[in-house]
């Protein structure tokens, strides 16, 4: 990316400490740095980013309270984690930010850029008189739905029982009731989710701007709706990862990277199924078996991120028992994998980062959403952009028949060919939006940089 003249201003980033939130925030930091801003990152103890990969940023670590044995939050349950962090980070974050701002040797702080889930930062920004811009790491389609969630609750959609789950949400075509976040959870979880969403939307409405990792050619209708709903400038400047130089990774991931990329090198173009369900979703022991058997029976080579940190023994047993053509890893360099010519399909949980990465590399998807807004993303992938096939969980989780059918649709049926063609068109759009001088994301980044320079404390 082109380097701009230094702007003499610092931007302070504050990511939520989960992979799917830290990665896009750091990518955004790289984009802002390339556009002339100095970048300060305030981060929690938990999941600290690797500062050595971003030597041009300044990092400050704060306590998050997660090492306190009595805390009620688990990192695999965002409904408990997010409210906890919003309370536990308040004091340390405010103290750290005060220090950063009052550092007389530093450039003036132009603004904060915070994850949309850190709603407590609204108060801090007011007290310290620092403008606050919000990064929502999900898509415009789900954020638009979130703005209407209280209304949909009022209409009874969140209380719908089993037989009605297939019904359409008439206000949000083509979404179905079953696509609503937390629809199958307990009433108390639904309430927690609603509270999170209400806080996120209301503090985004009161911010100095909203940044989304998306592009107009993909989500213009949802972006138009959001622009009607939210009285703040909205910048769609994705796909972020296409605008960044890869960070130098010196972690143990490098070992897998070499192994699975050289494994991919040995395969025919578009022959491999890449399987990854992101960094949070957990796979049940019975599902490991179903996945492994179906992939093996499909006769296709597959690269599977089994994330044994969630189930070490099962993955180890399965990988030693398999005799087909597969590569099973704990973690893969996903961007490199998706851009590899051997990869012909991406079996994904439809986390937003994975969705954007799959689209911008033009890899057709098999969609198995797990939680949060992933069902919404999946519906858009399968029914709006029509670049993937749905592979829903059955009553007992992932089921053999459904998996086999999805793989057949994508690789053997005419439908698969059509999906591939549409995906190529979308990949092209993703690339055009970054074009210097004329692409929508390219111009939006320019607009964002000017907007930040005009913000007044």
Residues in the site for ligand UDX, rule: CB under 6 A? Answer: 18-20, 23, 138, 276, 278-281, 305, 331-332, 334-335, 351-354, 357, 372-374
Per-position b or e across 379-403, b if 16+ CB within 10 A of its CB: bbbbebbebbbbbeeeeeebbeebb
Min. distance of Cβ 223 from ligand UDX in angstroms?
A: 19
Choose between 294 and 306: whose C-beta lies nearer to ligand UDX.
306
Could you give the CA distance from residue 420 to residue 112 in angstroms, rounded to a whole number? 40
Choose between 236 and 279: whose C-beta lies nearer to ligand UDX.
279
Min. distance of Cβ 97 from ligand UDX in angstroms?
A: 25
Q: What residues contact 254, with CB distance under 8 A and at least 6 apart?
A: none
Beta bridge partners of 329: 305
> For residue 257, which phi and psi values (nearest 5 degrees)?
-55, -55
Choose between 336 and 404: whose C-beta lies nearer to ligand UDX.
336
Min. distance of Cβ 281 from ligand UDX in angstroms?
A: 6
Structure-token pair, residue 452: 């930040």
Choose between 351 and 416: whose C-beta lies nearer to ligand UDX.
351
Give the closest residue to 11 by CA, choosing from 184, 121, 129, 130.
Answer: 130
Could you give the CA distance from residue 193 to residue 205 in angstroms, rounded to a whole number? 18
Choose between 314 and 354: whose C-beta lies nearer to ligand UDX.
354
Min. distance of Cβ 24 from ligand UDX in angstroms?
A: 7
Could you give the CA distance from residue 197 to residue 279 in angstroms, rounded to a whole number? 21
Choose between 66 and 452: whose C-beta lies nearer to ligand UDX.
66
> For residue 451, which phi and psi values (nearest 5 degrees)?
-60, -45
Min. distance of Cβ 194 from ligand UDX in angstroms?
A: 15
Min. distance of Cβ 350 from ligand UDX in angstroms?
A: 7
Choose between 332 and 387: whose C-beta lies nearer to ligand UDX.
332
Could you give the CA distance from residue 318 to residue 284 in angstroms, rounded to a whole number? 13
Choose between 92 and 380: whose C-beta lies nearer to ligand UDX.
380
Min. distance of Cβ 331 from ligand UDX in angstroms?
A: 4
Min. distance of Cβ 332 from ligand UDX in angstroms?
A: 4
Could you give the CA distance from residue 50 to residue 135 in angstroms, rounded to a whole number? 21
Q: Taking CA 90 as the corner, what is the angle to CA 233 and CA 115, rounded to the nearest 5 degrees?
A: 35
Could you give the CA distance from residue 195 to residue 391 in angstroms, rounded to a whole number? 30
Per-position b or e across 290-310, b if 16+ CB within 10 A of its CB: bbbbbbbebebbbbbbbbbeb
E strands, 279-330, in order: 302-305, 326-329
Choose between 88 and 353: whose C-beta lies nearer to ligand UDX.
353
């Amino acid at each position: 990316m082109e380097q701009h003249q230094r702007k003499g201003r610092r931007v302070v980033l504050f990511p939520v400490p989960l992979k799917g939130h830290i990665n896009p925030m750091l990518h955004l930091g790289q984009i802002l740095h390339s556009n002339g801003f100095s970048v300060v990152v305030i981060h929690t103890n938990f999941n600290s980013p690797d500062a050595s990969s971003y030597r041009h940023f300044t990092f400050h670590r704060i306590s998050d309270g997660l090492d306190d044995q009595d805390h009620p939050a688990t990192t695999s349950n965002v409904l408990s984690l997010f409210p906890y962090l919003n309370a536990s980070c308040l004091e340390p974050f405010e103290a750290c930010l005060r220090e950063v701002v009052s550092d007389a040797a530093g450039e003036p702080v132009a603004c904060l850029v915070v994850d949309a889930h850190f709603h407590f930062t609204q108060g801090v920004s007011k007290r310290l008189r620092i403008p606050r811009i919000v990064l929502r790491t999900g898509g415009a389609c789900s954020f638009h739905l979130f703005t209407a969630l209280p209304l949909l609750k009022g209409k009874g959609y969140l209380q719908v029982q089993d037989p009605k789950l297939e019904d359409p949400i008439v206000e949000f075509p083509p979404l179905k009731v079953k696509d609503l976040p937390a629809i199958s959870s307990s009433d108390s979880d639904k309430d927690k989710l609603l509270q999170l969403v209400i806080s996120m939307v209301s503090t985004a409405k009161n911010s100095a701007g909203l940044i989304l990792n998306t592009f107009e050619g993909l989500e213009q209708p949802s972006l138009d709706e959001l622009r009607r709903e939210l009285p703040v400038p909205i910048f769609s400047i994705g796909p972020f990862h296409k605008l960044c130089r890869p960070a130098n990774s010196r972690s143990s991931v490098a070992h897998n990277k070499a192994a699975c990329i050289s494994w991919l090198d040995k395969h025919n173009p578009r022959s491999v199924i890449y399987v990854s369900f992101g960094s949070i979703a957990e796979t049940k022991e019975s599902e490991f078996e179903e996945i492994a058997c179906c992939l093996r029976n499909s006769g296709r080579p597959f690269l599977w991120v089994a994330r044994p940190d969630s189930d070490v023994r099962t993955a180890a047993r399965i990988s030693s028992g398999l005799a087909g053509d597969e590569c099973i890893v704990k973690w893969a360099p996903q961007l490199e994998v998706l851009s590899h010519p051997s990869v012909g399909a991406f079996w994904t949980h439809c986390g937003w980062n994975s969705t954007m990465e799959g689209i911008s590399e033009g890899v057709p998807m098999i969609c198995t959403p797990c939680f949060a807004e992933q069902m919404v993303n999946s519906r858009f992938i399968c029914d709006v952009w029509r670049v993937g096939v749905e592979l829903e969980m059955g009553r007992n989780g992932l089921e053999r028949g459904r998996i086999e059918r999805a793989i057949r649709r994508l690789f053997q049926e005419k439908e698969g060919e059509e999906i591939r063609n549409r995906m190529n068109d979308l990949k092209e759009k993703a690339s055009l939006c970054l074009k210097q001088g004329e692409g929508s994301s390219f111009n939006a980044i320019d607009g964002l940089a000017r907007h930040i320079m005009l913000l007044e404390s």
